[in-house]
Structure 1
Amino acid sequence: MPGSDDQRLGEIESRLRRDDPRFARALDVGRPRRPREYRRVRAWLLLATALAALGAGIALAHGLLIATGLVLAGIAGELFDPHRRTCGDRRPPPRA
């Protein structure tokens, strides 16, 4: 049975190296970073920009700025999803 545990650990290690190589390298060195799905600095900055654009668009009554703020807020919302890359296939359903 010890061989199967070693094999499972090797699979986990190879999957970690494939999914987040920077985290795996940092873990080898002894200074791990947070995994990619928990690094959300860009999402917070984009959300702040979106809210600023939305607020400015409302204050100035400028429709294009409001639309830009809403689109950026939607993009930021997608960036907060930790499983956005594993959501399955995006192929259309087969035709009948």
Structure 2
Amino acid sequence: MPGSDDERLSEIESRLHREDPRFARALGVGRPCQPREYRHLRAWLLLAVALAVLGAGLALGHGLLIATGLVLAGMAGELFDPERDARRHRGPPSRS
């Protein structure tokens, strides 16, 4: 089977283009960027905002700001998860 390796490489390449087109384009040019699961700029920004809101809520003694800061921190934590895309595309759990 001389074509099997080529077929596998083509499959890997098409999957890479489908999953992370930015990384695939940069890899083709020879200047690869970080893969999607390692890009966390939005998560860090959201975490900074969450901590600022949480700190303001604690300093002011305002419960709504504290709750908002905690919710934003939870959202930022979810953005750091590298497997979130795989879980999002998975189907609902089966009923037994």
TM-score by length of 2: 0.90
| Residues 1:43 and 2:43 aligned together | yes
| Residues 1:57 and 2:68 aligned together | no
Report the residue type matching 1:38 in the other structure. Answer: Y
Residues 5-84 of structure 1 correspond to what in structure 2 (within 5 A)? Answer: 5-84=5-84
Check 1:83–1:92 CA distance in 2 against 1; reply closer, same or farther (3 A cut): closer
Report the residue type matching 1:50 in the other structure. Answer: A
Report the residue type matching 1:5 in the other structure. Answer: D
What whole-Å deviation, never above 9, does each CA across 1:24-62 have from its counterpart, x for those lacking one? 111111111100110001101111110111111011000
Cα separation, 2, equivalents of 1:23 and 1:82? 15
Q: The residue matched to 1:34 in structure 2 has which SS? A: coil
Cα separation, 2, equivalents of 1:31 and 1:84? 26
Cα separation, 1, equivalents of 2:38 and 2:93? 30
Equivalenced residue count is: 94
Which runs of 5 or more structure 2 residues have no equivalent in the other structure? none
Q: CA RMSD in A?
A: 1.4
**Which residue in 2 is equivalent to 1:85?**
85
> How far is 1:8 from its partner?
0.7
TM-score by length of 1: 0.90
